[in-house]
């Protein structure tokens, strides 16, 4: 997998490092031959916002060979995309490459005409300016990322990590994304939008934290009825206090968090076991019908198609 990451004068080191960090971890963990490289408008060094000089960037030829092209940010003045970069990226997209605009990079991707009539995400402070600049695009102010398959955009700064992990999850499966996230010590999947609450999807130390205690209990009882009243009882809190503190701690409602954890477990079982799909549904708290409905709505695939694509046992045997 060839991944070309655009480096330009004035980009911050953090934005430049995010796609390299996530995608190179795929290679380091032996999960796939993913090769991120930096490219510029021309050969030669670039100077970051922090004043560092980066040598060794490739030219636009890197875009021609890319399976994924990443615009990791954009200039604060939202200047037009250089014509040579515009033509190279649009050409790569026409040839089948995925184009990714992280944070303000969504502005550049929008300027390339790749999101006309579609939805997009960007940093919250650029939402209104992007709407004014491209009224033909529906800019979602809350989403961490928006994926159309061929084009993906993400919200501000750290949301780029979420978006890159999503790409790993889409291409290699949930188990691979979880391994990358674990190695980088980040959440494999965050709930909520740009409110950027801290999420603890799998509490590691319940201690005296009532929300962590209830969350840990819920993860051991995904096959049961997990009503708010039962969760509040596990936390030893009133219903009202539990709902308020749970949302502060996770960025999601209890129902949304439980549904996401059930689907996470379902993906793991689809990838790692040969359990029948109806058995997986029951073990994760779904009926066969609600499982297929929720799975398709969330992942754009049926459970059986997902298993055929991401069966980790077949990958290991191969």
Residue 98: pLDDT band by 50, 70, 90 thresholds? very high
The CATH fold of domain 256-317: Arc Repressor Mutant, subunit A (1.10.10)
If one counts every other C-beta atom within 10 angstroms of the C-beta of residue 241, the result is 12
> Given this model, what pLDDT does residue 206 score?
43
Mean pLDDT of 250-270: 88
Alpha carbon distance 50, 14 (integer Å): 10
> Given this model, what pLDDT does residue 204 score?
43
CATH code linked to domain 2-183: 3.40.50.880
Alpha carbon distance 57, 70 (integer Å): 14
Q: Per residue in 300-316, pLDDT tens?
A: 789 998 888 777 555 54
Higher pLDDT residue, 125 or 59? Answer: 59
Q: How far does CA 293 lie from the centroid of its chain?
A: 21
Domain 210-252 part of CATH 3.40.47.10: no
Listed residue (218, 206, 280, 216) closest to 255, CA to CA: 218
> Given this model, what pLDDT does residue 207 score?
53
Phi-psi region of 155 (alpha: psi -120 to 50; beta: other; left: phi over 0): beta
Name residue, tokens 């579609």: 118
Higher pLDDT residue, 205 or 149? Answer: 149
- pLDDT over 50 (residue 202): no
DSSP structure class, residue 44: S
Between β-strands 53-54 and 46-47, what pairing exists: parallel, antiparallel or unpaired?
antiparallel
Regarding pTM above 0.85, the answer is no
Mean pLDDT of 289-294: 95
- pLDDT over 50 (residue 200): no
Q: Name the helix (H) or strand (E) containing 13.
A: helix 13-28
- pLDDT over 70 (residue 203): no
> Given this model, what pLDDT does residue 190 score?
63
Between β-strands 151-154 and 145-147, what pairing exists: parallel, antiparallel or unpaired?
antiparallel
Contact call for residues 6 and 16 (beta carbons, < 8 A): no
Q: Check if 210-252 and 256-317 are the same fold.
A: yes
Contact call for residues 272 and 264 (beta carbons, < 8 A): no
Dihedrals phi, psi of 141, to nearest 5 degrees: -75, -10
Contact call for residues 60 and 89 (beta carbons, < 8 A): no
Q: Is 63 helix (H, G, I), strand (E, B) or coil?
A: helix
- pLDDT over 80 (residue 238): yes
Listed residue (199, 186, 2, 5) closest to 102, CA to CA: 5
- pLDDT over 80 (residue 250): no
> Given this model, what pLDDT does residue 128 score?
92
Mean pLDDT of 67-77: 96
- pLDDT over 60 (residue 317): no
For the chain, what percent of residues have pLDDT higher than 90? 69
Residue 208: pLDDT band by 50, 70, 90 thresholds? low
Query: Mean pLDDT in the chain?
Result: 89
Please report, for the chain, the start and end positions of each structural domain, with discontinuous segments joined by +.
Answer: 2-183, 210-252, 256-317
Q: Which among 15-24, 37-46, 133-142, 187-196 has the top mean pLDDT?
A: 15-24
């Amino acid at each position: 997998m060839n991944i070309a990451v655009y480096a330009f004068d004035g980009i911050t080191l953090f934005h430049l490092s995010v796609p390299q960090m996530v995608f190179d971890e795929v290679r380091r963990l032996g999960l796939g031959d993913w090769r991120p490289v930096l490219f510029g408008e021309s050969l030669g060094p670039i100077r970051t916002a922090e004043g560092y000089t980066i040598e060794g960037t490739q030219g636009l030829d890197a875009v021609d060979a890319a399976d994924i092209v990443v615009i990791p940010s954009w200039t604060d003045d939202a200047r037009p995309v250089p014509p040579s970069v515009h033509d190279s990226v649009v050409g790569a997209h026409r040839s089948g490459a995925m184009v990714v605009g992280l944070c303000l990079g969504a502005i550049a991707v929008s300027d390339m005409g790749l999101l006309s009539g579609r939805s997009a995400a960007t940093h919250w402070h650029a939402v209104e300016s992007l709407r004014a600049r491209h009224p033909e695009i529906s800019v979602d102010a809350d989403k961490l990322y928006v994926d159309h398959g061929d084009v993906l955009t993400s919200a501000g700064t750290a949301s780029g990590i979420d978006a890159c992990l999503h790409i790993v999850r889409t291409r290699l499966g949930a188990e691979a994304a979880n391994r990358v996230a674990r190695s980088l010590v980040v959440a494999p999947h965050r709930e909520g939008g740009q409110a950027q609450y801290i999420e603890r999807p799998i509490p590691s130390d319940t201690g005296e934290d009532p929300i962590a205690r209830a969350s840990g209990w819920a993860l051991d009882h995904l096959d049961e009825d997990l009503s708010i009243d039962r969760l509040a009882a596990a936390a030893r809190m009133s219903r009202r206090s539990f709902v308020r503190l749970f949302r502060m701690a996770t960025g999601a409602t209890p129902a949304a968090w439980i549904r996401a954890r059930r689907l996470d477990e379902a993906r793991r079982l689809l990838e790692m076991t040969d359990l029948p799909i109806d058995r997986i549904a029951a073990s994760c708290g779904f009926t066969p019908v609600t499982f297929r409905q929720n799975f398709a709505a969330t992942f754009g695939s049926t459970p059986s198609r997902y298993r055929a694509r991401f069966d980790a046992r077949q990958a290991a045997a191969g």
